[in-house]
Structure 1
Amino acid sequence: MEEKVLLKGNEIIGEAAIRSGCKLFFGYPITPSTEVIEYLSANLPSQGGTVLQAEDEIGAINMCYGAACTGNRVMTASSSPGISLKQEGLSFSAAVELPMVVVNVNRCGPGLGGLGPAQSDYFQSVKGGGHGDYRLIVLAPSKAQELYDYTMEAFDLADQYRNPVMVLTDGYLGQTMEPVVLKDRPESPKFDRTWVVDGCEGREKRILASYSLTNEIGEANNRYWEAKYKAIQEVEQRWESFHAEDADYLLVSYGTTGRICKSTVLNARKKGIKLGLIRPITLWPFPEKAFEPHLERVKSIVTVELNTGQMIEDVKLAVECQVPVHLYHRQGGMLPTETEILDYIEEMIATDTREVQA
């Protein structure tokens, strides 16, 4: 059954979690993510689930750790400073291979920062964030329907790979009301549950722990995780290409700025500028494959970010220095307009032309 409704972005995430079979939510209120826990508090118990407001973010992530050991679908949500406090628990969860979904409604920093939208948590999200060599799968929605669909998908990915999955959104998407089609999720695939801690009567006990008693065991464990993450990188890269097939210039942007950049591309095309967009959907694994068809044709790439330049490093690695990569950015909760971005592109093209003529 499908139903079209008008909901705030954070409420959409909550509804998607319920329809994905999430049974346990542990969190602590923090703006601009608070509506996630509010919505689930009002609606999850009637569906047989439990919501608990922990004493703080550290308590919440460790409750997720314990609950995930039982094989139930578990979620937490927070915003930037709260996600920082969860990093040790996320590292432990990845090491023990516990599936869970983590929502980060990114606000600007550093420190307490402000409540406006930002992409300043990119490094923290895609480079592990906590101690050790581990990764989170990171999905970056850019509109209401994607908030719903990607939250649902996050639960399946978490179960499939036995790994925490992050849905990285921001204060703009979380607070904006948009129409969304609510769909009941088809029955999820059956995933291996032989690791679940559910009472050991009649079988050998199962221990979920991340401590390596010897260096030899430690290396063997890390090689296992390394191979696991390489396999995910190979098959889970996702992106959207928008007018990129014949583009002379490419924008690269995700989330809120990714949708703004679509208008920039359309406005540029009206002016005769062959501009395209690659919008990463998975921030990890980063969609390196998206750039391969364009490297011999594209003259320049511009990343549009709400930070001082974080994703640009992954774009440079993806193109292997074959194409110049530039940055256009805003910070502190400020969003760029499509006109600002296009002005930057036109000045870049004019500068390149002057340099060639010189």
Structure 2
Amino acid sequence: MSYKLGILDQSPIFQGASAFDALQQTIKLAKHAEDWGYSRFWVSEHHHAETLAGSSPEVLISHLLAQTKTIRVGSGGVMLQHYSPYKVAENFHVLSNLSPGRVDLGIGKAPGGLPLSTKALQYGTMSDGKDFEERLSFLQEIIENSINETHPLAGVQATPLPSIKPEMFLLGASADSARLAAKLGIAYVFARFINSDESVLEDAARIYRSRFPAGSFKVSVSMIASPTQQEARQLIGDQKIVKVHLKSGRSVTVQTQVQAELFGKQSGESYEIEEQDSNIIAGTPSYVKGVLADIHEKYGVDEFILHTPVTKEAERLRSFQLMSPLQTALQETLH
């Protein structure tokens, strides 16, 4: 296998369970991921989400680092539009001092919630008027300790400075995001489980590779691995990708039609809702690995970040175990 495998966990709260249960399952999965040979374990940021417990990745990352020994742990990702880049750098420098060489700083452009939660996150703060690219660029300069001497904040440092810096990633689902990552010279992760349009993935890969040949190009995919193809197909159910297109031109991906309606109403704009096929890779481990191998060859993917959208914990855990990199390596050695 010529690519790496990581995991993205959103800490889902399954029916009949609590947020406590969901976070305990995340801890359990992180420990298993380390034992199964996964390269990294990322947690997400979602606000005011009744079915997801992961609202504060920095806090959760700290606990997961303490519960594991070798696997990289990080954010998938921090929604930078809500926060001070300087404070984000401080948080991840502290984490990097706690566990040198094991911290990933994934940054996302999406709000991570509905307009009401976005207003709540910004309530009582002073908006500095900076756009996302300017925020991300400043965050990169702080992490690299390379703020230009002409910058108004020249000389400032986000202490404590770590011996090994956190590795930065930009998460996105468009060619524009890939272009920005290449421009800044940072790793890029295309969220295929959010945007299932293959032509967009093709454009993102081409732009990133042509503008930053030495960069790391990763793809996050939804997958379900089961002992049989039939069972995997059954576990997909009727899952869809739901998008809200606002009159202002902004598009946001949500989980359900209900959330789409809420987002549209809370935005205060005219909107349209679009459903797309979920594009979940589902089947036996050999089938899933075959699809990943094809994507790897076609787009030069260095690593896949796996996300499993099943609604039962046992099947979710089994899915990741069946895709275990250590198990795959053993099988390849035996053959």
Larger Rg: 1
Normalising by structure 1, what TM-score?
Answer: 0.27
